[in-house]
C-alpha cells in the first residue's frame, strides 16, 4: 500500500521503517517533512493512505483534496484527533484511525518531571552552577509529600500520573465527567473544577481537547486557585487560555507553569528556530518568566512510546489493506 507520511522527523522515519520491515508485505512509504495542510495536500495524490501528526491540518478542504487524489485512509500517529474533520471524512468515504494506546507512562512521567523541575527550580539551578554560582537564594521549593494534587482528566495517562503522585504521599483529587473506579481505588476523589482549583497545590491536565474542554483553564478558574499553585499541561495547548495564565503568573496567583503543549504551537514546535526571530509575542512572554518551563511537545517522546506508535500505525495499514476490521478506527458520531 502506498503511504504518504507528513510532518516527518528523522526519528519518525527510523521507527516507521523499522516497523515496516517487520510486515509480511511492507508498505511503500514516502516521507514529507512538510505538514499536511491546504498547500501540501496535493502531494498525497496517488497515495492510498496518509499518516499525520498532531499539528497537521485535516479539515474538510484538505480531506476533499485527499479524497480526490485517491486517498482512502487517514492514519494519525497520535491519540488526539481534534485536527481531523470526522464529519467530512465520513462524507468523503475516508476511514480514520489513530493510536489509542502507546505509553501512558511517557506522558505521565514527563508531567512529574515538569512538576519537580518547577518546584525545586532545577532549570534555574542548572544555569547557575554552569556559571559557578552555587548560592541557594531563590531556589527553595516545597515537599510534595502531604500536598494535594488535582488531576483534570482521569483516563489512562491521568491514572498513571495519579498513581505516581500517590506514591509521593500526595492527596489526589480528580475532575472528569467519566468516573474511573481505578482512580478511586488509588484513593482519588472526584470533585468539581472549582473545588479542585481551590484545594490543589499542583494541577496537571490530562484530558482531550474538545469543545467542552477548550480553555477549561481560564481566567475564572485561575482566580479560584490556591495562591502559589503549580499548573502543568502535557495534553493539548487549547486547554489553557495562555493570556489568562500569564496574568495569573504576573499576579502571583499561579506559582509556576509547566507546558509541553501550547495553543499556537503549530508554527513553532518540532523545528529549530534558534536563528530566527519568533513573531509570537505570547510564547516570548511565557519564556521570560523564571517560574515557567516550556518543552516542545516531547512528553510522548520515549523509545517505548515511539515504537508502539509506529507499530500500531503499520498494523492499521495492514488491516485496512486486508479488509479486516480497524481496531483503532475513529467513527463519526452525529451530535
Q: Identify whether the C-beta of residue 99 lies closer than 8 Å to the C-beta of residue 77.
A: yes
Closest by CA to 177, choosing from 208, 148, 137, 146, is: 208
Closest by CA to 201, choosing from 237, 173, 238, is: 173
What's the 3-state SS for 26-65?
CCEEEECCCCCCCCCHHHHCCCCEEEECCCCCECHHHHHH
Q: Identify whether the C-beta of residue 77 lies closer than 8 Å to the C-beta of residue 52.
A: yes
Closest by CA to 77, choosing from 54, 57, 94, 60, is: 54
Q: What's the order of all strands across the beta sheet hosting 229-233?
A: 189-190, 171-175, 148-152, 202-205, 229-233, 254-259, 292-294
Alpha carbons 50 and 70: distance in angstroms, whole number = 11
- DSSP symbols for 73-141: EEEESSS--TTB-HHHHHHHT-EEE----S-HHHHHHHHHHHHHHHHHTHHHHHHHHHTT----TT---
The total of other beta-carbon atoms located within 10 Å of residue 267's CB is 13
Q: Identify whether the C-beta of residue 229 lies closer than 8 Å to the C-beta of residue 251.
A: no
Active site residues: 236, 265, 297
Cell of 44: 498525497
Burial group, residue 205, by CB count within 10 angstroms (0-12, 13-18, 19+): buried
Amino acid at each position: 500500500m502506498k503511504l504518504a507520511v507528513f510532518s516527518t522527523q528523522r526519528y519518525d522515519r527510523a521507527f516507521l521503517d523499522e516497523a515496516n520491515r517487520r510486515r509480511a508485505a511492507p508498505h511503500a512509504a514516502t516521507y514529507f517533512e512538510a505538514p499536511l495542510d491546504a498547500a501540501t495536500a496535493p502531494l498525497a495524490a496517488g497515495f492510498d493512505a496518509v499518516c499525520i501528526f498532531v499539528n497537521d491540518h485535516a479539515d474538510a478542504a484538505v480531506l476533499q483534496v485527499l479524497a480526490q487524489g485517491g486517498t482512502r485512509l487517514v492514519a494519525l500517529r497520535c491519540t488526539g484527533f481534534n485536527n481531523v474533520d470526522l464529519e467530512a471524512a465520513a462524507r468523503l468515504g475516508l476511514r480514520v484511525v489513530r493510536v489509542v494506546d502507546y505509553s501512558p507512562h511517557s506522558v505521565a512521567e514527563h508531567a512529574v518531571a515538569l512538576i519537580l523541575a518547577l518546584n525545586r527550580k532545577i532549570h534555574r539551578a542548572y544555569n547557575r552552577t554552569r556559571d559557578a554560582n552555587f548560592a541557594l537564594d531563590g531556589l527553595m521549593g516545597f515537599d510534595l509529600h502531604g500536598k494535594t494534587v488535582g488531576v483534570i482528566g482521569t483516563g489512562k495517562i491521568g491514572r498513571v500520573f495519579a498513581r505516581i503522585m500517590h506514591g509521593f504521599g500526595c492527596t489526589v483529587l480528580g475532575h472528569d465527567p467519566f468516573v474511573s473506579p481505578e482512580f478511586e481505588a488509588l484513593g482519588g476523589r472526584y470533585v468539581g473544577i472549582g473545588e479542585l482549583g481551590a484545594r490543589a497545590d499542583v494541577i496537571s491536565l490530562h484530558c482531550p481537547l474538545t469543545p467542552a474542554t477548550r480553555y477549561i483553564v481560564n481566567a475564572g478558574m485561575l482566580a479560584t486557585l490556591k495562591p502559589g499553585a503549580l499548573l502543568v499541561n502535557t495534553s493539548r495547548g487549547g486547554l489553557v487560555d495562555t493570556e489568562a495564565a500569564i496574568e495569573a503568573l504576573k499576579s502571583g496567583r499561579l506559582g509556576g507553569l509547566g507546558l509541553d503543549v501550547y495553543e499556537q504551537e503549530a508554527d513553532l514546535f518540532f523545528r529549530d528556530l534558534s536563528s530566527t526571530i519568533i513573531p509570537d509575542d505570547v510564547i516570548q512572554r511565557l519564556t521570560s518568566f523564571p517560574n515557567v518551563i516550556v518543552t516542545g511537545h516531547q512528553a510522548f517522546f520515549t523509545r517505548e512510546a515511539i515504537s508502539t506508535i509506529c507499530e500500531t500505525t503499520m498494523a492499521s495499514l495492514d488491516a485496512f489493506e486486508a479488509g479486516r476490521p480497524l481496531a483503532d478506527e475513529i467513527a463519526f458520531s452525529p451530535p
